[in-house]
Chains A and B, each alone.
Chain A
Amino acid sequence: MYVAEVVEEHHDRPERKRRLGILFWICVGWIALNIVGAIFANVLPLQNPLFQNYASVNAGPSLHHLFGTDDLGRDIFARVVYGSRVSIEVSLGAMLVGFGLGAPLGMLAAYRRGKFDSILTAVMYVFLAFPAIIATIAVLSFWTPRSLLKIIVVVGIASVPLVYRVIRSATMNFASRDFVIAAKVQGATDRRILIKELLPNIAPVGVSFLLIGIATVVTLEGALAFLGLSVNPPTPSWGNMINESLSILQINPWLAIFPSLAMCLFLLSLNFIGDRLRAHFEVSEAKL
């Protein structure tokens, strides 16, 4: 789950750093399109994702059903668009929880240092040693009945130590710089220094880690769906759809291919945006 975070980038093209490039904006556009589609899914001229049309079961792509239909005659295109809702809700929600708890703690620990920092950091490292995916599965499997909110809370809390570590080390790079000391000498309050001086400086690291985090949670939702630990059917999610396609892979490969494609393009765009932003702001993860 957290492998993406280990992959460190090597930037050996300084001359291209200033330009984000056309691919970057294509990826931003694709993510925006996904989010707009998820928000306005019930306003858009889509077919009902739950309507079962037994007259056309397992149909291939056609003008009437762009992506074909599944084994219950439901329109796959509509289900893929509606399915993005679950992925986006879970990933944004979990990151809201993770950053909401992890980021302030990380900033505070790096700014204050001392006992507060050493105890908190030790606790977080112990939690990091615990395999988060196993803990998530174990909690979700016995905490019934399952709901979207519980998934968000569990995944969000599991991400707190990671967010804490990244934000803490990013803040440390700036916490003892001259401009912070200057603000302190001028009599600025801690709150002001944290929000006005430090936050803008660590924002680039935060945003690119946020994008990686969202990509990781989208993948995790897919993995949870495989175990039947995501939202309950018939609600479509990309993971649920891929999981449902397994039993009829031989008859109807489209049901596996389209949600997989939607998920991969979404992840690729997120990773690409994060990668470019990191290069743009010259953030080195090697300092972690």
Chain B
Amino acid sequence: MLIGIVFIISVGAFYLIHLLPGDPAAVILGTGDSPQNRARLFKELGLNKPILEQYFVWIKNVLHGNLGTSFISQTSVWSTIKSALPIDVEIIVLSQILAFAVAIPTAMVSARKPDGWLDRLLGATSFTLLSIPSFVVIVLLVLFIAIKLGVPHTGVSSYVSLGQDWVVNLESLALPSFTLALGSFVVYYRVLRSDLIATLQEEYITMARSKGISQRRIMWRHAFRPSSVALLGTAGVNIGGLLAGGFIVQYLLSIPGLGYTLIQSIGLSDYLVVQGIVLVVSVGVILINFAFDLIINIVDPRISRE
């Protein structure tokens, strides 16, 4: 199944160019269209050969880690991706730590007294946050925190790499991580809350209560693990979504991650880079989902036994 999907994605990424009207060579070359480049392109991709053969030439190169060389920047697509990907990973990891750290306790507070004033307040807040797109959040954050309050290293193009200075690096990634965390928090909170409420009505919880086990211990030791299956499934989809859809915050703050590179390449009509990023991100999303399926099976072994 996994291999099948990856295969279809590779076909999709490859034929993207042929689905669109116009001369593929002109699209691939973009602004780098010159007789020399054109000759090199035809030689590398075998554009004058039949389309099926072109795919096999291309997929063989891809499997050897060769995504081609950009005709515009003259650098290899793979090295471009390799330098951008860690930034995406860092933002996603930071945002997920933040989101889980807030979502789990708040969901527990809500589930303890469903429909209590705190639960209603949290419910209304999360519902409102659900309706605010991430680009609006980041624009307002930049406006109030970076511009009005003048907090250093949080504004546009203040990105510093992790190797250079890790404190400034964290500061420069604070706003994008917070923005993505906010969106994730809402989803995680709602999913975990409803599952916790359902779990807390199970008989073994009543049993644990009657034994006099503390509320906190029941929550963490008895109710949390069986309630986290939907949460993990959602997290897998959501993290994949952040990898694919996190480009907006990067673009706004000029953080040179994959999303930013993708938009730059679209602007330059650098087709090979776009194709490479589409391929890497799509495969990444699928691998993340697959990994979370495995984690779910470990957390709740009943699922794989069924």
Q: Among the listed B8, B131, B230, B252, which residue makes an inter-chain contact with A246, where contact means beta carbons less than 8 Å apart?
A: B252
A209 to chain B minimum Cβ distance, whole angstroms, is: 16
B174 at the interface (CB under 8 A from A): no
Neighbouring B residues of A270 by C-beta, 8 Å? 131
Contact present for A126 and B5 (CB under 8 Å)? yes
Residue from the set A1, A2, A10, A223 with the largest chain B CB neighbour count within 10 Å: A10
B142 at the interface (CB under 8 A from A): yes
Closest to B284 in A: A131
Q: Among the listed A131, A135, A256, which residue makes an inter-chain contact with B240, where contact means beta carbons less than 8 Å apart?
A: A131
A141 at the interface (CB under 8 A from B): yes
Q: Which of B36-44, B59-67, B97-105, B187-195 contacts A (4 or more CB under 8 A)?
A: B187-195
Closest to B194 in A: A10
A52 at the interface (CB under 8 A from B): no
**How far apart are the CA atoms of A2 and B186 in the complex, in Å?**
14
**How far apart are the CA atoms of A1 and B244 in the complex, in Å?**
9
Given the known interface contacts A131-B285, A134-B281, the answer about A223 and B133 at a Cβ–Cβ threshold of 8 Å is yes
B4 at the interface (CB under 8 A from A): yes
Count A-B pairs with CB separation below 8 Å. 139
Closest to A216 in B: B133
Neighbouring B residues of A142 by C-beta, 8 Å? 16-17, 20, 27, 269, 271, 274
B218-260 contact mask (Cβ, 8 Å, vs A): 1 or 0:
0000000000001000100110110111011001100000000
Grouping DSSP codes into helix (H, G, I), strand (E, B) and loop, the A interface class, with mixed when no group exceeds half, is helix
Neighbouring A residues of B128 by C-beta, 8 Å? 268
Contact present for B130 and A7 (CB under 8 Å)? yes
Contact present for B251 and A226 (CB under 8 Å)? yes
Contact present for A3 and B4 (CB under 8 Å)? no
B143 at the interface (CB under 8 A from A): yes
Contact present for B130 and A256 (CB under 8 Å)? no
Neighbouring B residues of A275 by C-beta, 8 Å? 127
A264-276 contact mask (Cβ, 8 Å, vs B): 1 or 0:
1001101110010
A252-269 contact mask (Cβ, 8 Å, vs B): 1 or 0:
010011001001100110
B109 at the interface (CB under 8 A from A): no
**How far apart are the CA atoms of A7 and B193 in the complex, in Å?**
11
B177-197 contact mask (Cβ, 8 Å, vs A): 1 or 0:
000000100110011011001
B128-145 contact mask (Cβ, 8 Å, vs A): 1 or 0:
101111011001101100
Closest to B5 in A: A129
B115 at the interface (CB under 8 A from A): yes
Q: Among the listed A8, A126, A267, which residue makes an inter-chain contact with B190, where contact means beta carbons less than 8 Å apart?
A: A8
Total chain B interface residues with beta-carbon distance under 8 A: 62
Neighbouring B residues of A198 by C-beta, 8 Å? none
Given the known interface contacts A6-B237, A126-B4, A256-B143, the answer about A219 and B133 at a Cβ–Cβ threshold of 8 Å is yes
Q: Among the listed A134, A256, A257, which residue makes an inter-chain contact with B278, where contact means beta carbons less than 8 Å apart?
A: A134
Given the known interface contacts A246-B252, A264-B136, the answer about A272 and B127 at a Cβ–Cβ threshold of 8 Å is yes
By Cβ-Cβ distance, the 10 closest A-B pairs, closest first, are: A10-B194, A268-B131, A131-B244, A267-B131, A141-B266, A260-B136, A219-B133, A129-B5, A131-B285, A134-B244
A residues bordering B, Cβ < 8 Å?
A: 1-4, 6-10, 12-13, 126, 129-131, 133-135, 137-139, 141-143, 215, 219, 222-223, 226-229, 242, 245-246, 249-250, 253, 256-257, 260, 263-264, 267-268, 270-272, 275
B residues bordering A, Cβ < 8 Å?
A: 4-5, 8-9, 12, 16-17, 19-21, 27, 114-115, 127-128, 130-133, 135-136, 139-140, 142-143, 147, 183, 186-187, 190-191, 193-194, 197-198, 230, 234, 237-238, 240-241, 243-245, 247-248, 251-252, 262-263, 266-267, 269, 271, 274-275, 278, 281-282, 285-286, 289
